[in-house]
Chains A and B, each alone.
Chain A
Amino acid sequence: MSEEPILSVRDLRITYQTGRNSEVVAARDVEFDLYPGQSMALVGESGCGKTTLGLGLLRLLPKLGRIPQGEIVYRRKDGTTADILKMGKEELRRFRWSEAAMVFQGAMNAFNPVQRIGAHFADTLKDHLPEGKRLSKTEIRERSEELLRMVRLEPGRVLPSFPHELSGGMKQRALIALALALNPQVLVLDEPTTALDLLTQCSIVEELHRLRAEFGFTMIFITHDLGLAAELADRVSTMYAGRIIETGTAEDIFYDPRHPYTSGLINAVLPVVGDLPQLASIPGSPPSLATLPAGCAFGPRCEYVQDRCREAVPALEPLTDRPDGLTHATACLRAEDVQHSREVVSRA
């Protein structure tokens, strides 16, 4: 893997205003380095802050969202760096899509329903180009057709269609093609296969594998589906109550989770392969972000909890020493005591 991270996030905090003088912290203390070509999954349950973090990385938060603290340093191909949080409006517009693009959640609703697919491509190709560059109508059409063929869609059928005329899987493919329009270095995908049928999910996953091999982009994808993370990610970070509580390679996270929450999450996934294992759900429900418990936010639901867990928020401590952001780290005082077993069975 290569030398410098493409994206370095430090001490990031994202808040939402909930009233005139009140706010909730939706993501806090987020730090990670992402290296070129890596694929990182952000996993967690609804409300854990994973979508907020994904949107925050491209500064696409909704109106009431703010980033009061932290930095997100992006390294361009030429080696220059820029803090995304300090970019001006124009700079940000050119950065989005040509450097980093997003595939939004819910393929069903991500397109404007009264615009043809072709118009979406034309808008994107016109709007986010580097300064001084312009494309002619023919060039726009040719590029759109090329992009759609890349995701195995028929341009002649899709470009003149309205979004409602396409199936969910076709829309998701078109959305991925749109995100790749300007050859971004980083692709953020928010729940790329949720709400799609199983066989369609499978074909999208294959598409992403193929595109990544071909274009070598760096990928962050947000999902609640641990199976998808196992399939697509080299690295996995688990989020709980706005914080990254464990991070490591896919093998670390799935075979040797050191945080009781990660372990519980994996054990709650129902398998199709093999015999019926003993399944356990995690007792209780996630805390409200407005009233986090003292100390470790998972404490009240944790079977390993001790008095010291309630004293301070445990920091994300490294368990291994590996380069390129592949270190296994966890925010649990009892990391060494966590027992994880899930029978690994092979597919016959």
Chain B
Amino acid sequence: MPETPTIPDSPATAPLLRLSGLEQVFDTKRGKVPAVSGVDLKVEAGKVLCLVGESGCGKTTTARAAAGLTRPTGGSVEYLGHDIHRMGAAEWQEYREAVQYIHQDPYASLNPVRTVLSSLTAGLRKHKKVKGRHEARQAAARLLEQVELTPAESYLDKYPHQLSGGQRQRVAVARALAMNPKLLIADESTSMLDVSIRVSLLNTLGGLRDDLGVGFMFITHDLAVAKYFAWDGEIAVMYLGKVVEHGPTPQVINDPQHPYTKALIAAVCEPDPRLARSKKTIPLRSAEIPSLTALPSGCTFHPRCPLAESGDCDTTPPTLAPLDERRRLACHVVARDHVAAQAGTG
């Protein structure tokens, strides 16, 4: 991106979180695995950025780097304009409190031998944000009310195994809220829930976004969930460690431009038999995702892409460049045709 990294944004105008040229290469026995290569994204306060893509595309690696859980091998993560890996202790502390992570599996993310009260107040006690047992209990009860687990008193002394999956995930969200976060990173937080309770959890999260102004980095493989939760926000579609299309959710979902995004959207099964029977999927040239250790040359999607042409596609990796005012796209063919069409009409 042609942005000037030498002049940092002032904290007043800087986005909540900015990823610039983020790279994460893992060293493994079988060679280097470039899990994320060159991701530029940002999240604003009260806004949603949704990362979608198939397993292994680098969504979770990106999220973990954004949460400061791993040290990227290249590029930077900035919180309010400050590189998180150059922060002093106090600033780092502030960042860690402000950015909280909600994991995928509520059965694994809550300590089974701790009560709800104990899980919710561990952070508060550690950071001395509450004085005494009574105050801690009140704070925990308030958190449970925020995630609509009421009456809160009836949940505080329960253990995770006494709760349903949906209730556990709400406790996990409440725990993330304990530190008054500015940014929540939700990694497939609704995928393990049954459909009948998924919508209500998404609505609760939406309430936090709208009422508390919490920003979200929301990771999902489910395009319908992305559409519902990030309708007023943005979607970034990832493929093999790179963002291939990024723009406002309505545009990306209703008018996808990248052949990979198009294939994903065409593959969705809707609960409607007539629609399902008339469905036209986009035939890919290969059903298999290439391995990260042996990435194809040029555009990494070209061996599967229905639009691939010999020439640029198999030699030059496309850059994620602006397609129109608000959308960025990494595809030689679509970008070229877009320019040609504009020249034709203009």
Contact = CB atoms under 8 A, between A and B. Distances in A.
Interface of A: 45-46, 167-170, 197-203, 205-206, 224-231, 250-251, 254-255, 264-266, 268-273, 276, 279-282, 285, 344, 346-348
B207 to A, nearest CB: 14
Nearest to B268: A272
Contacts of B227: 270-272, 276
Nearest to B222: A270
Given A197-B221, A199-B54, A344-B272, A268 B195 contact: yes
A251 B272 CA distance: 8
Contact of B273 (A197, A205, A251, A270): A251
Closest 10 CB pairs of A and B: A227-B269, A270-B224, A197-B54, A226-B271, A202-B267, A281-B200, A282-B196, A45-B194, A281-B199, A250-B273
Interface string B254-276: 10000000011101111111111
A285 B265 CA distance: 31
Given A270-B199, A270-B228, 9 more contacts: A200-B54, A200-B287, A203-B287, A227-B276, A250-B273, A270-B225, A271-B227, A276-B231, A281-B199
Interface in B219-257: 221-225, 227-228, 231, 253-254
A203 B54 CA distance: 14
Contacts of B167: 285
A347 B279 contact: yes
Nearest to B278: A347
Contacts of B194: 45-46, 224
Contacts of A346: 275
Nearest to B277: A231
26 contacts: A45-B196, A46-B194, A167-B288, A167-B289, A170-B288, A197-B289, A201-B269, A202-B281, A203-B287, A227-B270, A227-B271, A227-B276, A228-B269, A231-B269, A250-B273, A254-B271, A254-B273, A264-B196, A268-B198, A271-B224, A272-B270, A279-B228, A281-B200, A282-B197, A285-B164, A285-B166
B263 A344 contact: no
B307 interface: no
A264 B271 CA distance: 12
B200 A206 contact: no
Contacts of A168: 55
A280 B269 contact: no
B122 interface: no
Given A169-B287, A198-B267, A225-B269, A268 B196 contact: yes
B284 interface: yes
A254 B275 CA distance: 11
A269 B273 contact: no
A228 B165 CA distance: 23
Given A199-B287, A200-B287, A272 B275 contact: no
Interface string B149-172: 000000000000000111100000
Contacts of A231: 269, 273, 276, 279
Contacts of A225: 269
Contact of A199 (B200, B264, B274, B278): B264
Contacts of B287: 169, 199-200, 203
A268 B164 CA distance: 18
A198 B278 contact: no
B100 to A, nearest CB: 24
B237 to A, nearest CB: 12
Contacts of A347: 275, 278-280
A227 B268 contact: yes
A139 to B, nearest CB: 29
A167 B198 CA distance: 28
Contacts of B203: 281
Contact of B271 (A46, A167, A266, A280): A266
Nearest to B201: A281
Contacts of A201: 267, 269
A250 B166 CA distance: 29
Contacts of A282: 196-197
Contacts of B280: 347
B54 to A, nearest CB: 4
A46 B194 CA distance: 7
Nearest to B52: A198
B264 A198 contact: yes
